[in-house]
Structure 1
């Protein structure tokens, strides 16, 4: 399964590296990237303006997105992974998993299991 990811502070990038994916299996999101195969989106939690590139990417690629994995900070309570919740609602996609910051070993194991199930 291909991963499309976006990283602002490089936390999501560090998490993706922990997944030990093949070099062609993970691609960083840009507003000009077009995918023609199924993928899972991994994003951090920020205001929509900061993630505008992700929103623009999803307008052109949502049909191939299988779901969203979100990074966040539980200290923000009800705002935890709200970016993923907004994208999920807008594009009718499931949130497959969430983790804090750049994830733990348990998060890596869980996400690898999700990837294997697709």
Structure 2
């Protein structure tokens, strides 16, 4: 996770057992929601590799970005969503507002 995404995740109502950083060795057996920053594919290659193996379990994507980048806002999530046919459930800027945290907690509770 990036520092912005990490800060955001720490604000959520999640126990440590429900949070995992993606690595090349991570393999999941339960449904999950991906929370992802916006970076070039080569920077997030581990995420792409992970999704290649685990996309069937992904319930959706929550994306972090910067609206100053206009059309490029949350483009990583858009690309992953299109490639793996996974919906974008929510997006937020930087490390999120209180409203973003509340909205994402509601999304996570519904899954």
TM-score by length of 1: 0.92
Structure with more of its chain in strand, by fraction: 1
Deviations 1:53-97 (CA, angstroms, capped at 9, x unpaired): 100110111110000000000000000000000000000000000
**Aligned mate of 1:67, from 60, 65, 68:** 60
Listed as ranges, the gaps of 5+ residues in structure 2 are none
Rounded to whole Å, the distance in 2 between the matches of 1:85 and 1:49 is: 16
Rounded to whole Å, the distance in 2 between the matches of 1:96 and 1:26 is: 18
Deviations 1:21-44 (CA, angstroms, capped at 9, x unpaired): 111011111121000000000000
Find the residue that maps to 1:96 and give its secondary structure: strand
Matched with 1:31 is: 24
**Aligned mate of 2:71, from 64, 69, 78:** 78
Please list every run of at least 4 consecutive aligned residues from structure 1 whose deviation after the TM superposition is greater than 2 angstroms: none
Listed as ranges, the gaps of 5+ residues in structure 1 are 1-6
RMSD: 0.7
Matched with 1:20 is: 13
Matched with 2:101 is: 108
TM-score by length of 2: 0.98
**Aligned mate of 1:48, from 41, 51, 58:** 41
Cα deviation, residue 116, structure 1: 0.9
The total of aligned residue pairs comes to 111
Rounded to whole Å, the distance in 2 between the matches of 1:76 and 1:82 is: 10
